[in-house]
Amino acid sequence: MLIRIVRMTFKEDQVENFLTIFNQNKDKIRHFEGCTHLSLLRDYTSPHIFTTYSHWKDEKALDKYRHSPLFKKVWANTKIYFGDRPIAFSLKKYLDVD
């Protein structure tokens, strides 16, 4: 499993536009082949900063999504509202501590 984290900082007056785009596409993204989990997190002290947290079957599944018409449309419509460069990275689970 691959865990993908994308932290996005939006212009404060554009948050609602981003949320509209996300809400219109969240089910399509979550049910894209290879995606097993999708969460949207909001920064605790900076409400214009959001992070997507998603699980993918593997790197191939994530790459298929990243090259899809769905991703290209969503990303093109989202990035115009950024207030800063997004930060994206992929992880794999190393250890659970109970």
In a domain, 98, yes or no: no
Mean pLDDT of the chain: 97
Reply yes or no on whether the pLDDT at 89 is more than 90.
Answer: yes
Share of the chain above pLDDT 70, in %: 100
Angle at alpha carbon of residue 49, lines to 73 and 37, rounded to 5°: 60
The CATH number assigned to the domain holding 67 equals: 3.30.70.100
Task: Name the residue range of residue 87's domain.
Answer: 2-91
In a domain, 97, yes or no: no
Question: Is 95 exposed, middle or buried (CB count within 10 Å of its CB: 0-12, 13-18, 19+)?
Answer: exposed
Nearest to 84 by CA among 54, 48, 53, 52: 48
In a domain, 26, yes or no: yes
- Into how many domains does the chain fold? 1
Reply yes or no on whether the pLDDT at 98 is more than 90.
Answer: no
Nearest to 55 by CA among 18, 81, 93: 93
Q: What pLDDT, in 10s, does the model give residues 47-76?
A: 999 999 999 999 999 999 999 999 999 999
